[in-house]
Structure 1
């Protein structure tokens, strides 16, 4: 949490205090928890969040869920009531909290490039590596979580402009091609998307890594340049501006 973030407290409550819990069907969570377990074990543990929970803290629950035979909504609720305890998160200053939502934009794509589908989504390249205090090059800021492994050592990865101009092209990293460079940009910002192919097939992509350079908020830049009023800034107005200024 930053100094600008209001403090919060955790208040233990019962499952009976959860509105709609008795009618809920949390069965679909088990597939997601297994995906989380594989991520933690086989790929990369999640970073500790502001509540202080680590990936290791989650593993007992994820392992227990893996061994359960869930055949109904009641079974799923019983599992969570046996293994979990609900808490209400409330602000210490007494003001209402603010909750944001996550969504997956749906983007029209093609499996092969042509004159219409020209802008690629890339998978993570092999020379992009995670950085920590053990391998971070001298002079590369702590904010860089990723770097490029070369025969001469580790360096900063090429930035968005270099990638847009073809740095990753020809390496077989393309997942699909989109019609709009703006769509690709907003999927990068959002972190996930559903890809709809011409014949109706739908795929899904999600965040794997980034080049590591500091994020430049395009909305902030447009406000500073006087292109969009601060009171009018939104995804829609940014998209409109980009469409008018390709």
Structure 2
């Protein structure tokens, strides 16, 4: 169960307490912040965006107008990675390309919870309705496309179409990696996206049942306005940036806010990123998904990531102090 908001704590810390702050590339972080700050609704964020557009010294900009705030909900910090997959597909079905990428049906839009993944894939409910955006050649890659929420489909003529998250069927996300561990197939430290894919392909019947363990099903929309050299659209409807954008839980962290990352593990990472996306599995004040980029190499790197650490949100000064508890009289 998620913690009650009464259990959430906010602590203001100094920039000097951010490990590696002085050596980060603040200019790249500022450019990433500018990509979405114009779309933030609150006036204090928009004012800061105006200052940022005036080409200030990047590090001084963050230190002058923000305060680092630790937001904690009692859960341990966890960093994972995500990426934009590239799948092979076509706009028409064939013996190779036979797994449809679906647009969202009107019934799913109208209900908080619609049919499960198993029901969608094993009945004719989607057939003959013109909901197919494209067809791909690998149901396992399609499953992981749904987990990532966006991707590119490479057509036989070498062109690409990009698809983005449109909505879901309202069922909770269940990790098939956790399920493999529960069944005793792997230990937790052995599980990665590639390990899961290979197991499903080696065990077709059991693999299909494993995929159906996750009842959540994601529908897509075609995204035509994003050039091929830009990242996919995040939750703010702007392209996300490799290794500078993160997905967060917006119940705790405002979308568009700068967030300082201190990721531990085999490859420590201390970097200023920007909360520009969300994800169905990203829940909690200290939970983040780091965007690694597009394609197989990014996918391999993202799939291995499951590390502890901490993250600190940079909030406008007045907002930061407003989050502190009222002093006892």
TM superposition score normalised by structure 1: 0.61
Q: Which has the larger radius of gyration?
A: 1
Which structure has more relative contact order (CA 8 Å, sep 6+)? It is: 2
1:210 to 162, 168, 186: 168
Corresponding residue for residue 232 of structure 1 = 190
Q: Structure 1, residues 34-70: CA drift from partner, whole Å, max 9, x if none?
A: 5x55xxxxxxxxxxxxxxxxxxxx5335655787894
Within 5 Å, give how 1:84-99 maps onto structure 2.
Answer: 84-89=65-70, 97-99=77-79
TM superposition score normalised by structure 2: 0.47
Unaligned runs of 5+ in 2: 205-329
Corresponding residue for residue 11 of structure 2 = 10
Q: Structure 1 residue 159 and structure 2 residue 116: aligned?
A: yes
2:27 to 21, 24, 31: 24
| Cα pair distance change 1:65/1:109, threshold 3 Å | farther
Q: Which has the higher strand share?
A: 2
Corresponding residue for residue 106 of structure 1 = 86
Q: Name the SS for the 1:100 alignment partner.
A: strand
Within 5 Å, give how 1:52-201 maps onto structure 2.
Answer: 58-60=41-43, 63-64=46-47, 70=53, 74-75=55-56, 77=58, 81=62, 84-89=65-70, 97-129=77-109, 146-147=112-113, 157-165=114-122, 166-201=124-159
Distance of 1:130 and 1:217 partners within structure 2: 26
| Cα pair distance change 1:13/1:173, threshold 3 Å | farther
Q: Report the number of matched residues.
A: 196
Q: Name the SS for the 1:115 alignment partner.
A: coil
Query: CA offset at residue 180 of structure 1?
Result: 0.5
Unaligned runs of 5+ in 1: 38-57, 132-145, 148-156
Q: Name the SS for the 2:118 alignment partner.
A: helix
